[in-house]
Structure 1
């Protein structure tokens, strides 16, 4: 190993920990799909030697060796890849696996993306880690500009329609105030009808009907025909304002619930749905 490769520095991660990391990481394992996306977006994918299950964007990421899901990491598979850095997410990755990696002298840097601002902070942090600070700054500047323009348009809209955002099918699960999906709905000029202290509240069908959403958005970790089936079931309830006005939509969950560079795209999609009269004006 060259002296340059062996150089290290101490950084503070988004979990508030001091971590000694390589000055020029060469073998990185991304411990969440969102981290994988960020690394690819920064054009630093040559450093990646492993990723987690469902790290499928961009398509090239699907070819990386997999080390389990982000909530069930496989320690042996990670160590077998010989990483000099793992990039984790504070909420989701199991603390015991992170601790064991650190005991094996494999540094683990944690990001903590809980909002649009902290997603952008995570991008900047990963850019700094991978010597891609300029690319990260440019990406974040673009995201900030798009978010700001959409928020400005939304703030001037004549109405804020009630939105029910369904992320779970059986039971019906929505998103409360302590989630970045709530922030996206509100930033796009909607009213989140599931707002409240519970991050992911459950609802009966009767409760959703009582909320009378003007817009119903369906997204789920499940794939394929399930999306369309759920939409068809809702379309049978003609007294629902969203159904009556044909404002039931299916969106790609990865664009919305994966905290990475595509969140600005997700916000734009929501804005176009919530305020079609202003679509594309940002």
Structure 2
């Protein structure tokens, strides 16, 4: 007679763990390194099967010319475009443990803010190395790139990426340091409700480095605002960012245009930007900085958008 008993919960994970070790997963030659959370991690000398646990990490690995090592990535790993073809291991907040294990990685690169600690611990229990990064500002993004370069054995390329970022940031600073007026900027990252980016965010740092004043900078994190709150702030520039790009922008533009007393409306300075250039801790943050500087201080740039006057 057939056995119709329901298998106990978690049997798939136990089976994957057994197969993982049966197939000889794990590593013999490894270095003990300290990750960005203070954990000691035994990282393989030459990891060849890497799973990225955040879109920003996927971008960094591609920037290091190590994309051939990626065997999986999270949802929204969409840059460069070919990254979208990688097997998905769920979102970086809701990781698919079974899928990750099935890819037989010798290294997972995680991000402290977002990846669930429970999944990280389960991976470690299976002898899968998990190196966590914690980028909090532009300097720590560059450190993240350097450290990932070290564990992947591509220090030279990482140095080139960091040097390029550093030079481009310095070029922006040289252009905007002389400005006598820093326009008030309201950076709208949420529409309903209205949400902006306060202090201790990448967006706040980018606004400051681009020669602007973040009108939400007096609050930590991501504060909410009413329409009346924004009107009282009287922003000179409104920046709108959303993953649902043009559809959202058209609606937001119509919403603000009815308030003709807003300086941003009167001067036609409401702009749409790609959210990934401003909130994803990858090398492309510098591209966001350059774009923002041009939007805030167009008089400093030639028509090609690249050279200072």
> TM-score, length-normalised on structure 2?
0.88
In 1, the alpha carbon distance for the partners of 2:265 and 2:28 equals 60
Matched, 1:112 2:134: yes
Match of 2:95 among 63, 66, 73: 73
Matched, 1:281 2:307: yes
Matched, 1:222 2:244: yes
How far 1:236 sits from its partner (Å)? 2.3
In 2, the alpha carbon distance for the partners of 1:142 and 1:212 equals 36
Matched, 1:33 2:55: yes
Secondary structure of 2:172's counterpart equals helix
The residue number in structure 1 matching 2:294 is: 272
Alignment of 1:123-142 (within 5 A): 123-142=145-164
Alignment of 1:185-204 (within 5 A): 185-204=207-226
In 1, the alpha carbon distance for the partners of 2:72 and 2:28 equals 21
Alignment of 1:143-158 (within 5 A): 143-158=165-180
More deviation, 61-70/214-223: 214-223
Alignment of 1:164-243 (within 5 A): 164-243=186-265
Matched, 1:21 2:37: no
Secondary structure of 2:190's counterpart equals coil
In the TM superposition, structure 1's runs of 4+ consecutive aligned residues that sit over 3 Å from their partners are 221-224
Match of 1:245 among 235, 259, 267: 267
How far 1:199 sits from its partner (Å)? 0.6
After superposition, the CA RMSD in angstroms is 1.4
How far 1:224 sits from its partner (Å)? 4.6
Structure 1 portions without partners, runs of 5+: none
Q: Is the 8 A contact 1:162 1:215 kept in 2?
A: yes
| CA displacement, residues 142-201 of structure 1 (integer Å, 9 cap, x when unaligned) | 101111221232221121000000001111000111111100000000000001242100
| CA displacement, residues 91-143 of structure 1 (integer Å, 9 cap, x when unaligned) | 11111111111111111101111100000000001111111110000110110
Q: Is the 8 A contact 1:231 1:250 kept in 2?
A: no
Question: Structure 1's 243 and 197: CA in aligned 2 closer, same or farther, altered over 3 A?
Answer: closer
Secondary structure of 1:68's counterpart equals coil
In 2, the alpha carbon distance for the partners of 1:227 and 1:26 equals 42
More deviation, 161-170/214-223: 214-223
How far 1:223 sits from its partner (Å)? 3.9
Q: Which has the larger radius of gyration?
A: 2
| CA displacement, residues 57-112 of structure 1 (integer Å, 9 cap, x when unaligned) | 10000000001100111111111111000000011111111111111111110111
How far 1:231 sits from its partner (Å)? 1.9
Match of 1:262 among 284, 292, 305: 284
How far 1:27 sits from its partner (Å)? 0.5
In 2, the alpha carbon distance for the partners of 1:196 and 1:11 equals 38
In 2, the alpha carbon distance for the partners of 1:106 and 1:227 equals 43
In 1, the alpha carbon distance for the partners of 2:142 and 2:307 equals 23
